[in-house]
Structure 1
Amino acid sequence: MSRQTTAILIERHGPPEVLVERTIPLGDPGPGQVHLEVAATGVNFADLLMRAGLYGTVPPMPYSPGFEVVGTVQGIGPGVTDWAPGDRAVGLIRHGGYARDLIVATPNLFRYPASLSAPEAASVPVAFLTAWVALFESARLRDGETVLVLNAAGGVGTAAVQLCRWRNIRVIGTAGSESKRQAVVDRLGAAACFDSAGDWGAEVARLVGPRGVDVALDAVGGRATPMCRSLLAPLGRLVFYGMSDAMPARKKNWIAMIRAWLRTGRIHPLDLIEPNASVAGIHLLHLHAKESLLRPALEQIYQAVTAGALTPLVDRVFSLDRAGAIEAHRYLHDRRVFGKVVLA
């Protein structure tokens, strides 16, 4: 009889309660694959968009969300020589992470420091790699520049602020509550953090003056995008990697989506000439096959974590089952998180 495991699946779109727990076939690892017993999986805002039917690239339903997992190798397929049963590993996958067991291709496996717990290790890959690619690959961040990070208290936001401070880059953030704003400054080292629901554009402009900001990371969209563009210095770069403004509630809202889309606006190439501005987009899943980019980046990130220069920020750990996944999604929808949410 074939082996089986349990997984949290999306069988239809809707609020968090549509998530279901099922027994599914597991199979055996094939050439270049391992069987990974999952100890923890990171929860990302993209998981919420998948569940609501707002994410672009997804497999046919039913499927399990989850891009990043941590676990122990239980078995290896033919030709695997660099992993052995008992090894601890991080897996960066396209989907399927809300499961107790996975079959993972070895190019998608990474080692992580023994000093980290499974939830800590699982909180790193998506957040820090997204921030890394945005800052160092797309924006080509340089010494002496100033960075604006929207949603600085979220998973990617806290990672981006930490990466900037690691490189001694001045960083300014936005966040939704006073406690989060204070933590972004006091715990993470941002120069300032303004209310994301207020007139933060004017406050940033007063702080930086006519010089502007060199890089803006925007995962919000809506009115935030033109505000970011207006703050860019000459040769400034706007990096866009999400539109949380399109999903302010726990389920799809067409009015909110249309409003966010219209407020974000369209950017014509000619509009970028006079301000000497650049606009880029980041979608980490579509870099999934670029091992030559992601592996050295993640290795450097984990080395910095080991050295104490970067810190995985696990806000809450929920159980890796249906009830835990539902509560985790609700927690992210309510914008209560500082750092990352993990299932374990």
Structure 2
Amino acid sequence: MEHDSLIVDLLKYCIVLSIIEGVTTIREARVKLDVLIKRLKDASLLLDSYSSNRFTMHDIVRDATLSIAFKEGGFFYKRQVQLDNEWLNMDNVEKYTVISLHYCDIVDGLPNSINFPRLKLFCIENNNHSLRIPDKFFEGITELRVLLLVGIDLSHVPPSIKCLKKLRMLCLEQCVIGDNLSIIGGLKKLRILSFSESELKGFPFELGQLCKLQFLDISNCSKLEVIPHNVISCLNNLEELYMRNNTVEWEIGGKTNASLAELSHLHQLKALDMQIPDLDAFPKNAFFQALDYYMITVGDFKMFSVEGFKMPDQYKASRTLALHLKEGNNNIHSQKRIKLLFSQSERS
């Protein structure tokens, strides 16, 4: 992880790689992780960052940590170097459990497939959006638990992704994503799914089959306008939902597109970050009292920046409600669910 990393990213790894034992929910993992981070800070192994939802690490500690990982084996990490396909000709491929490539120049592109039978985590963070993943690329890494792809051209999602039956965390971020995303619906063990900042044109109905999903992030997906009816309501185990800065058209009543009323079916939901275009779309069922954290804006989103109002940083533990009503719209006084949110909010 980088300097000034998000605590929520560390949380994801702890959940899907079973780093914290004896927890089944994100809520439990958050509590234990907070304790662990405090202990590490007290021991000067971690440091405070510029924001309370981040942490950092001193260079000396970081270098020592990487050195230990390399010596123990199974760890391949490259950052901002030029790579040709020679990096794949590693001795004893059976020992590798982690491959992490950060902003490397992959000269020859990716090979048709790779074979690492014990690989648990594969990460490419990329700034060359022409990089593509070949169709059969994932066939030789079927033990994978974590797949993180950043800045990749996925206008055609590789069919071999369906081979990753043990995958628990899938992050396709800052990517161009095509319309064959429905294939991901077959990854039944997914617990973490993120499309943050990606060009995501559609949200297929098949994603409602991810019954173990606990964390969904579709924030900053500027091209996502439609979520099918009854997809979100099928995600019964969802605990955290992030939908900031997107243009989803919520339907009132929800016969074709999703309606916000579907959120009331998510009985495990504890964290919510989203925008609601107007009061009419606001769900009538007052389920918000069960949330630990929420950051909700209602109304004309552009006006918040004009008037100097700033929402808390994303993924921050906050209870914030922001309203911008049209002139002459005074029906807030009859909205009990809005009043309830106001009474619970820390900032409004």
TM-score, structure 1 normalization: 0.26
Larger C-alpha radius of gyration, 1 or 2?
2
Higher relative contact order (CA 8 A, sep 6+): 1
TM-score, structure 2 normalization: 0.26
Q: Which has the higher helix share?
A: 1
